[in-house]
Structure 1
Amino acid sequence: MRILEHAMHLASVEGLDGVSFGRLAEDLGISKGGLQALFRSKQDLQLAIIAAARGVFNQQVVVSAEHAEDGLPRLRAMLEAWIDYLDFFEGGCFFTAAALEFAGRPGAVHDAILDAASAAYQTTVARINLARRLGELPSDTDTDQLFLELHGAVLAANHARQLLGRTDALDLARSVVRARLHPPHHLST
């Protein structure tokens, strides 16, 4: 839907609160009343934007990595796709911006963002655990720590690119992921 596509890009730059019926109507050349009939409230609009952004993330990151072999290859492919995803929205990672905006604000919008973040965490952890079970990562790998390291590289790349203007940020994140997910040669012993 053209409305949600534009709204996601706008929210990535100006935040979910920066997306209004008036702004969307003006930007898209449609009636404000028509938008309000579709979404009823600003919260409904925000929830629809989050759902659409979650669909983009799933397609761009999770599904795009399905071509890779199970285990470490799929985990690497997912992280590479996650880094590529930082280019999808004008404002970088939609969920990083939304999480910062709504972290301390309880309610349905916060819960929808939390649910999306939890799903990304669970998918990543499942792939880390599979790589560990397949012997592609050391058996004593701390799954939560590795998730934080990998996710931290993605978040740092988003921050460095969006705020600091670092054009090399995505390449640096890829280097961190490759180095961290390079299996030691002694795993088979």
Structure 2
Amino acid sequence: MTRTGDARRGAIVDRAVHIASVEGIEGLTLGRLADALRMSKSGIQTLFGTKQELQLSIVSAASRVFERDVLLPAERQPAGLARLRALMSLWIGYLETFEGGCFFVAAASELDGRSGPVRDAVADAVARADALLQREVELAVRLRELPSDTDVEQLVFELHAMVLQANHDRQLLGRKDALARARNAVDRLLEQQTGDAASPSR
């Protein structure tokens, strides 16, 4: 594909992620995207071939945005709790990136009972994010900024749950304070953990 074709494809995918976050990735057909972009369906099909290829491109694009807006900025922070806090704050902020909230929350809810390459791509992206969060928690434990007996998987579960709840409250219930509450919840949980680490009984 030419550079012009790559640029057109990238621009189309960028718009498609926003639409899919609102309307669902399954409902985003080549025809629906063509209508939204005021292009011909054949023009979209020339660039993507099939609906599945379009869907996989959307998942990849959403992953790149997550990496750009969350992972890379967090990695600039000092290892340990500072980086973990930054990761969580950026992840919560990411919920405002797409028109329909977190793309992966929407796609996971839509595809979790199905099978196929698109569902697998979404599951893989979510698993990678969880693995990254677990790595940062484990690093904070090794640096003794969290208690040595921290239940890492439980803490990861609770931190991720706060992101999911924030997205739910913001998108479904229209609660404007959802992101602030999520950040407060993360701070409170980590302060509890670090308080345990400082306890003489530890």
Q: Distance in 1 between matches of 2:199 and 2:81?
A: 13
The aligned counterpart of 1:146 is 155
CA distance in 2, matches of 1:144, 1:70: 19
- Aligned mates of 1:29, 1:77 — CA distance in 2: 40
Contact 1:137 1:187 in 2 (8 A): no
- In the alignment, the residues of structure 1 paired with residue 190 and residue 73 of structure 2 have an alpha-carbon distance, to the nearest angstrom, of 19
Match of 1:7 in 2: 16
Q: Give the match for residue 19 of structure 1.
A: 28
In the TM superposition, what whole-angstrom CA distance separates every residue of 1:103-149 from its partner, at most 9, and x where no partner exists? 01011011000110111011000000000000000111111100111
Partner of 1:125: 134
Alpha-carbon separation, structure 1, partners of 2:60 and 2:199: 40
Aligned-partner Cα distance in 1 for 2:23–2:79:
38
RMSD: 1.2
Instruction: State the TM-score, normalized to the length of structure 1.
Output: 0.96
Shift of 1:29: 2.1
Runs of 4+, deviation exceeding 6 Å: none
Count of residues in correspondence between the two structures: 189
Alignment match of 1:81 (pick from 90, 108, 113): 90
Greater Cα shift, 148-157 or 177-186: 177-186
> Aligned partners of 2:126, 2:35: CA distance in 1, in Å?
31
Gaps of 5+ in 1: none
Q: Which of 176, 179, 186 is the matching residue for 2:198?
A: 186
Determine which of 91, 100, 111 is the counterpart of 2:109. Answer: 100
**How far has the Cα of 1:74 moved from its partner?**
0.5
How many angstroms does 1:28 deviate by? 1.4
TM-superposed deviation, 1:187: 5.8
How far the C-alpha of 1:180 sits from its partner, in A, is 1.3
Q: TM-score, normalised by structure 2?
A: 0.90
Q: Distance in 1 between matches of 2:67 and 2:107?
A: 16
Q: Aligned partner of 1:170: which letter?
A: L
The residue number in structure 1 matching 2:46 is 37
Letter paired with 1:111: D
Distance 1:110 1:91 in 2: 19
Task: Give the residue type in structure 2 aligned to 1:117.
Answer: V
Counterpart CA distance in 1 for 2:14 and 2:198 is 47
Q: Look up the SS of the partner of 2:26 in the other structure.
A: helix
User: How far apart are residue 45 of structure 1 and its match?
Assistant: 0.5
